[in-house]
Amino acid sequence: MARHKYVQNFFAIIEFVIIFLVIAFLATTTVPGLLRLRKRSRTSKIMPLPQSSDRLATG
């Protein structure tokens, strides 16, 4: 009976390790991309659209 509990605990630890590795892998693959997008969005500027009165005056 003690051996059964040992094996059960062992598999529970393995499950936690696998879950941790999956989360760590997802974090290492997505965080750099998110940081690049954040940096790009801060550096890009939004160009204002021309107003209808501006088009009439120039055209």
Per-position pLDDT tens, the chain of length 59: 678 888 888 999 999 999 999 999 999 999 989 888 888 887 766 667 667 665 555 55
Which pLDDT does position 13 carry in this prediction? 94
Can you list the pairs that 22-25 forms with residues at least 24 positions away whose Cβ atoms lie under 8 Å? none
Q: In the numeric block, which tokens belong to residue 45?
A: 């500027």
Residue identified by tokens 């598999």 is 11
Which pLDDT does position 25 carry in this prediction? 97
